[in-house]
Amino acid sequence: MTPLLEVRDLKKHFPIHKGVFSRISGQVYAVDGVSFHIDRGETLGLVGESGCGKSTVGRTLLKLLEPTEGKILVNGADITALDAAQMLPYRRQMQMIYQDPYASLNPRMSAGDIVGEPLIIHRVAAAKERRERVAQLFDRVGLRPELVNAFPHEFSGGQRQRIGIARALALNPELIVGDEPVSALDVSIQAQIINLLMDLQAELKLSYLFVAHDLAVVEHISDRVAVMYLGRIVETTDKTSLFEMPLHPYTEALLSAVPIPRASARARKRVILTGDVPSPINPPPGCHFHARCPYVMARCRHEVPALREVKPRHWAACHLHDNGVTFPLAKPAGA
């Protein structure tokens, strides 16, 4: 069956302009060859640290940014080259929820108008019908109906995120891209929003691309997880395998760096990485992770490891598995 969304070798490079003539002096390789798919009703978590390109992936596949290279297929149809007008029917199927509920709502529109606006743009409902639909959406996301006339500043952070969710749901989309939708919220509110997203998914058969830096949240929400590092996916598999058997050294380090809230957490052994994430302007040659990798070998410094299915349904981009799966991760003898 064709997946709901398929992304093939997607690249998004941003030119760096310099000087009075804005001559292009370099490129930021924000997304540098990313492939994945999302099935109907499924949640794919896209996790990575700041600057790894995960948000750019979300924006590019919705064509809020023009892809530099690669293909985006929705229900098998190639939308990569479509212009804004041609995109309109696809926009109904794919919506976005943003991280910052303060910046993503127009402060001069009432909450009801914000939620109803997509219905106007896509001309799907007349005024009366629209009011009914907005009321229904408010109810569905847990906002009191009388709040339709209130303005964004009158809402708390959690409520604003509910407005953003209602707006995304207005057109009955199939896919919702959430770009760090809970990271700006306090933990008790975060739980409310995560539960809401899960309920909506079960009820409306939604598919999610959940982009976030918090691995615990991503593991909770997702069916499958893709780990990004400096513009590339380094590992992807179902969430349990990712946790039980991380096959990329970066995933291993990321998992071990996540603090776990339980009594005996202090005794946990962990991998602490040295150094920072390198710049996507001049990414290192070979494997992007080699400078921080505890298992680095000679070939990692010049040869880019491909994302391969190293064991059934488990993809990793790491030379450690060139001659069969190595787990626990370890340098081969003599390397």
Partner 1 sequence: MPSAPALLEIDNLRTHFFTSAGVVRAVDGVSYGVRSGETLGVVGESGCGKSVTALSILRLIADPPGRIVDGTIRFAGTNLLDLSESEIEDIRGNDISMIFQEPMTSLNPLLTVGRQISEAIALHRGLSRRDALDQAVEMLRRVHIPEPERRAHAYPHQLSGGMRQRVMIAMAVSCDPKVLIADEPTTALDVTIQAQILDLMRELQDRLGTAIILITHDMGVVAENADRVVVMYAGRKVEEASARELFEFPGHPYTKGLLGSIPNLEVAAHVNARRARLTEIKGMVPSLADLPQGCTFAPRCSFATEECRAAYPPLLEHRPGHWVSCWHAEHLLQGEA
Residues 100-129 that bind partner 1 (CB under 8 A): none
**Closest CB to partner 1 among residues 261, 328:** 261
Stretch that binds partner 1, among 30-38, 54-62, 93-101, 197-205 (CB under 8 A): 197-205
CB of 79 to partner 1, least distance (A): 28
**Tokens (6 digits) for 16:** 């760096």
Rule CB under 8 A: say whether 269 interacts with partner 1: no
User: Pick from 19, 261, 312, 328: which binds partner 1 (CB under 8 A)?
Assistant: 261
Kindly write out the interface string for residues 46-85 of this chain, putting x where it contacts partner 1 by CB under 8 A and - elsewhere.
Answer: ---xx-----------------------------------
Cα separation, 321 vs 49, in Å, equals 24
CB of 30 to partner 1, least distance (A): 17
Cβ–Cβ < 8 Å for 164, 104: yes
CB of 252 to partner 1, least distance (A): 11
Rule CB under 8 A: say whether 227 interacts with partner 1: no
Residues 146-175 that bind partner 1 (CB under 8 A): 156, 158
Question: How distant, in Å, are the alpha carbons of 29, 53, 95, 283, 297 from that of 231?
Answer: 7, 5, 23, 9, 21
CB of 265 to partner 1, least distance (A): 4
Rule CB under 8 A: say whether 270 interacts with partner 1: yes
Stretch that binds partner 1, among 79-87, 128-136, 248-256, 309-317 (CB under 8 A): 248-256
**Closest CB to partner 1 among residues 77, 258:** 258
**Size of residue set near partner 1 by CB under 8 A:** 53
Kindly write out the interface string for residues 9-48 of this chain, putting x where it contacts partner 1 by CB under 8 A and - elsewhere.
Answer: ----------------------------------x-----
Rule CB under 8 A: say whether 328 interacts with partner 1: no
Residues within the interface to partner 1 (CB under 8 A) = 43, 49-50, 156, 158, 186-192, 194-195, 198, 201-202, 213-217, 219-222, 239-240, 242-244, 253-266, 268, 270, 272-277
